[in-house]
Amino acid sequence: MSEKKVITLLNDLGIKYTTNSMIYTFKIFEDDLNFEKLKKFIDKKIISDFSGNAKYYYTSDEINSTEWFVIRSTHHWSYPQPENNYNNIIYDNSNYCTGCGSGLIQKDIFQMKKEPSWGKRNFIHLHWVMDELFINSRILNNFKSQNFTGIEIENVNFYKKNIVLNTVKHLKICNILEKSFFIENPEKIITCEKCNKTKYVLGWGGFYKFNKTILNNNNCDFIKSHEIFGDGLMASRYIIASKKVLNYFILNKIDEIEFKPIVLI
């Protein structure tokens, strides 16, 4: 949809927005009368960018009612290096599937083209690699003092120079949860013709449901979902974090981590 049509739609619905050049920002609540109207345009992909870039907010009750959250960084920066060959350099690709992009296992540390552009932010993820988080070294000691479980802190190399970058570390999430995700209303279910694995494409709104026993019995503050997500050759797991992690983000005013409360059933 063209920019002009999006503005007309927002005006017609009486939705107030702010704009900074090409980026339009607005807030809408699920109980707003216009929410369903707007959602139809998003569901039909007429306004596709909205769902991908939207930031969702949850009430205190929704947050307090669970111990687990799916998290992601809204600050995407740059690409893994070397861009045209990182699959072979960073990953063991002996089980890689060229049909769906799944099967990569990290074998070497990540490389970036330079120190990340942090601004005020402390967490980023790289484009293409949706299930790896990187942390700003300036808060590393603070982060480490929490003794979160399920992660290792790894260096990140300056690509081509083979030296360690100063301002960034990789939060390597070590474990994968057992199958426990009750996937409802996926936008897409993809069964790979080559490897027969199933991937999903999900909207980010609403809630995700997981098996209570499996999630509560794992001992990790950070863990990856068993299930794999992404269209085309994108194949990543969701990052699941405990409430201890969420409280850390809130206490330290980490605004670039978006979270979704998990409903346990």
Which positions touch Zn ion (CB under 5 A)?
Answer: 97, 99-100, 192, 194-195
Cβ-based nearer residue to Zn ion, 63 or 233 = 233
CB of 193 to Zn ion, least distance (A): 8
Minimum Å gap between C-beta 233 and Zn ion is 9
Nearer to Zn ion, 9 or 97 (CB): 97
Q: Round the CA-based radius of gyration of the chain to a whole number and report it.
A: 19
Q: Which is nearer to Zn ion, 89 or 97 (CB)?
A: 97
Q: In this complex, which beta carbon is closest to Zn ion, that of residue 28 or of residue 233?
A: 233
Copy the structure tokens of residue 104: 């990569």
Smallest distance from Zn ion to CB 158, Å: 33
> Shortest approach of Zn ion to residue 190 CB, angstroms?
9
Q: Are strands 208-210 and 181-182 parallel, antiparallel or unpaired?
A: antiparallel
CB atoms within 10 A of CB 130: 19
**Rounded CA separation 204/51 (Å):** 7
Helix (H) / strand (E) element for 12: namely helix 3-13
Report the half-sphere exposure of 107 (CA within 13 A, side-chain side). 13
- At its nearest, how many Å lie between Zn ion and the CB of residue 191? 9
Q: Which of 184, 218, 222, 187 is nearest to 72 (CA)?
A: 222
Residues 140 and 134 sit within 8 Å (Cβ to Cβ)? no
